[in-house]
Structure 1
Amino acid sequence: MSQQSVTMADVAKAAGVSRTTVSFVLNGRTESSIPETTRERINQAARELGYRPNAAARTLASKRSSWFGLVTEIATSPFATDVIKGAQQAAWKDGNFLLVAPSDDEPGMDQRAVEKLLEQQVGGLIIATTWHRQITVPDNAKLVPCVLVNCFDADGEFPSIVPDEIGGGYAAAEILARAGHTNIGHITVAMGIPAQIGRQTGMKQALRDHGIEPDDTKIVPGDGTADSGYHGTQALLSQTDPPTAIFCGNDRIAMGAYDAIKERGLRVGEDISIVGFDDQEILAPHMRPKLTTIALPFEELGMAGVSLLNQMVEGSPIENRQITIGCPPRIRSSVAMHGQR
């Protein structure tokens, strides 16, 4: 085999590593966390095979160091475009460019998406999910600086940007308490996920701060769907002392709550006040009455992710491994002062 015909793939095979790892080592990418023993093995294999780097390819690689990669479930969520929009704006502001790779729940899809981005010599990675949760980060994401957006890993190895679920739940309950409601129901999103735990925790804290003792009999487990909102509201309104206001765990739950309230001949915002969560663009502003809700700040999450990634790429120390972004209220027409019609 001539020196000219030896490729990175040949070196990768000889060293027992991926082609991407070989590329990072032979192109001098020192910011990746490749062990020194692996670097030495790759360099030795390259010497023994007589690998000679292609000058044009090396120049192209150096030009792509200002590119960031974003992996997200773009095809399955109405929120993904907002994450991309925020990340794109922040990247362009600093002269960086964003490459987007879609992923889904198919096994190994995230790893393949990351690999494709690494092959393009991105300088850093953002992995973004469409709902707040713990994830397992692909091993190949460790080759470059990597930030998690709207998600986190179990060991806290990767810095993350997440919404302030507790603060959002607090804001939702406070809107109702300030409107004079003391008998407040809650229909949760799926039990056990960070959104459910955080929003319910924040709600209870706000009630206590306003002198209202939380009542667990007014909390109905839901699953994030309109159907669970409908049935949860029916259950709450069938109680001996039904609530005068309901905090719905998301906007779809609120949509189901509207149906249950109207079916009983009651009026949203007059007889029963409703607060949602998400500020889903295709729902909240178009419901009648328009839904007061708490916004999930997807654009801000994307922007903050790129900002943090820039710090990592530049070698700046990261003091806070998990940054929370506030969830602002969107006041509309579904909440009225208690006792006023």
Structure 2
Amino acid sequence: MNKSVGIKDVAAAAGVSVTTVSHVLNDVVYARVGAETRERVHEAARRLGYGPNRLAQALRTQRSGMIGFISEEIATTPHAGRIILGAEETARARGYRIMIINSTSTSSQDSRESDVADLLDRQVDGILYATMYHRKLAVPKNLIGLPAVLVDSEDISHTVSSVIPDEIAGARSAVQTLIDAGHTRIGMLNNTDDVPATHSRLKAFKDTLAGAGLPYHEELVQSEPSEVPGGHQAALRLLKTPNRPTAIFCYNDRMAMGAYRAAGELGLRIPDDISIVGFDNQQLIAENIYPALTTVALPHYEMGAWATENLIDAIEGKTDLQLFAAHPTLLPCPLVLRDSVASPRHQDASSRAAPDSPTRPNT
């Protein structure tokens, strides 16, 4: 066998795509590939010496002990790196190692398929595909039919198993914490991006208010890009309104940080004058702003561990990943209580009016 030959070489020699080669050599039953094309692919593989031990199908019985990990920006950002840690520690405990390829959320479908092909060329036993934030995606076609798990993302075709955070339950716990503290007029700073979290966290906000018998006021939801400047601008609009809210639920910790800044500029003290809750538990923010931020933790480590554990079970024939493919597995988002929530001191409308002049900042 010529060990320098890869799946891309076979595709070029046969005059077909990498996906077609993967489907033919892995005997993907639903692949629409004609008999002539199949024979051309097999002939090219034989001629180039692309042996069976380089195929994902054969890897199920001739395991390399390596797991491929395609990271959409996770490896180069601080936000979701614990996904990798959870995967690595779980893999090591099971006698496997992780091989990482870093990609981006804007990569083309061809680029993603090329990443999968590169990992197959290195004889990985299975593939984890992780995104930096919860979103739905069209998986690389040559990932279908392989032992694979999506992490923090959902396959729009429901053919590849996935694990995601329970956004709705996490957001409900955040809003319920404010209600339990005695707040009845609660605002929300939401994201403007069309991603699952934007819609699920807003739904949870509305449902939790309704469950407590509290009205939903559309003017108390302000949306901006989910970064510190966006949170600052949205919070200023919210806090300058007559009969302002006594508490704010923020889409994420970065927006909460912007809300802290806005409150300080308006002379409001946290949590005496305004309570704030975030989402994500980004430790560089939540633990280090003053007062420390009550927030909801995304289960990054747990998602990486769950995906790896179940992927290895599938590689070793102990489970069928297709049992999980129809619906993503939800992992809990625990509430992390810190110092940014207190009972409202004043409930009358005049005391909740926006301040006329700033005093001292909170941060």
State whether residues 138 and 157 of structure 2, in contact with CA within 8 Å, keep that contact through their aligned partners in structure 1: no
- In structure 2, C-alpha distance between the alignment counterparts of 1:8 and 1:284, rounded to whole Å: 46
Name structure 2 gaps, 5 residues minimum.
347-363
1:162 is paired with a residue whose SS is strand
Letter of the 1:319 counterpart: L
Query: Does the C-alpha gap of structure 1 residues 264 and 116 become closer, same or farther in structure 2, counting only changes over 3 Å?
Result: same
Question: How far does the alpha carbon of each residue in 1:253-290 deviate from its partner, in whole angstroms, 9 at most, with x for none?
Answer: 11111111111111011110000011112111000000
Answering whether residue 161 of structure 2 is matched by residue 159 of structure 1, we say yes
Letter of the 1:133 counterpart: R
Q: How does 1:1-341 map to 2 (within 5 A)?
A: 12-17=11-16, 37=35, 41-45=40-44, 49=47, 51=49, 64-72=63-71, 73-104=73-104, 105-107=106-108, 108-142=110-144, 144-313=146-315, 314=317, 316-317=319-320, 318-321=322-325, 322-339=328-345
Question: How far does the alpha carbon of each residue in 1:11-48 deviate from its partner, in whole angstroms, 9 at most, with x for none?
Answer: 5555445679869987xx6799877956655444556x
Name structure 1 gaps, 5 residues minimum.
none
- In structure 2, C-alpha distance between the alignment counterparts of 1:55 and 1:175, rounded to whole Å: 55
- In structure 2, C-alpha distance between the alignment counterparts of 1:96 and 1:331, rounded to whole Å: 36
Query: Does the C-alpha gap of structure 1 residues 41 and 171 become closer, same or farther in structure 2, counting only changes over 3 Å?
Result: same
- In structure 1, C-alpha distance between the alignment counterparts of 2:202 and 2:262, rounded to whole Å: 22
Question: How far does the alpha carbon of each residue in 1:101-147 deviate from its partner, in whole angstroms, 9 at most, with x for none?
Answer: 11123434423322221111111111101011112222222252221
- In structure 1, C-alpha distance between the alignment counterparts of 2:245 and 2:4, rounded to whole Å: 74
- In structure 1, C-alpha distance between the alignment counterparts of 2:269 and 2:42, rounded to whole Å: 73
| Count of residue pairs the alignment pairs up | 334
Query: Does the C-alpha gap of structure 1 residues 315 and 5 become closer, same or farther in structure 2, counting only changes over 3 Å?
Result: closer
| Two-structure CA RMSD over aligned residues (Å) | 3.3
Shift of 1:311: 3.7
Which stretch of structure 1 is more off in the superposition, 310-319 or 300-309?
310-319
Query: Does the C-alpha gap of structure 1 residues 46 and 267 become closer, same or farther in structure 2, counting only changes over 3 Å?
Result: closer
- In structure 2, C-alpha distance between the alignment counterparts of 1:32 and 1:67, rounded to whole Å: 26
Question: How far does the alpha carbon of each residue in 1:58-84 deviate from its partner, in whole angstroms, 9 at most, with x for none?
Answer: xx9776533111111135421342110
Letter of the 1:78 counterpart: P
- In structure 2, C-alpha distance between the alignment counterparts of 1:264 and 1:152, rounded to whole Å: 41
- In structure 2, C-alpha distance between the alignment counterparts of 1:25 and 1:208, rounded to whole Å: 53
- In structure 2, C-alpha distance between the alignment counterparts of 1:227 and 1:50, rounded to whole Å: 56
State whether residues 6 and 121 of structure 2, in contact with CA within 8 Å, keep that contact through their aligned partners in structure 1: no
Question: How far does the alpha carbon of each residue in 1:212-261 deviate from its partner, in whole angstroms, 9 at most, with x for none?
Answer: 12222211112101112111111111222100000011111111111111
Letter of the 2:345 counterpart: G
Letter of the 2:64 counterpart: S
State whether residues 21 and 143 of structure 1, in contact with CA within 8 Å, keep that contact through their aligned partners in structure 2: no
State whether residues 8 and 19 of structure 1, in contact with CA within 8 Å, keep that contact through their aligned partners in structure 2: no
State whether residues 19 and 141 of structure 2, in contact with CA within 8 Å, keep that contact through their aligned partners in structure 1: no
State whether residues 33 and 143 of structure 1, in contact with CA within 8 Å, keep that contact through their aligned partners in structure 2: no
Query: Does the C-alpha gap of structure 1 residues 20 and 196 become closer, same or farther in structure 2, counting only changes over 3 Å?
Result: closer
TM-score (norm 2): 0.81
TM-score (norm 1): 0.86
State whether residues 162 and 324 of structure 2, in contact with CA within 8 Å, keep that contact through their aligned partners in structure 1: no
- In structure 1, C-alpha distance between the alignment counterparts of 2:132 and 2:225, rounded to whole Å: 16
1:197 is paired with a residue whose SS is helix
Shift of 1:163: 0.8
Shift of 1:211: 2.0
Which stretch of structure 1 is more off in the superposition, 134-143 or 312-321?
312-321
Query: Does the C-alpha gap of structure 1 residues 175 and 39 become closer, same or farther in structure 2, counting only changes over 3 Å?
Result: same
Q: Percent identity?
A: 37
State whether residues 64 and 120 of structure 1, in contact with CA within 8 Å, keep that contact through their aligned partners in structure 2: no
State whether residues 133 and 151 of structure 1, in contact with CA within 8 Å, keep that contact through their aligned partners in structure 2: yes
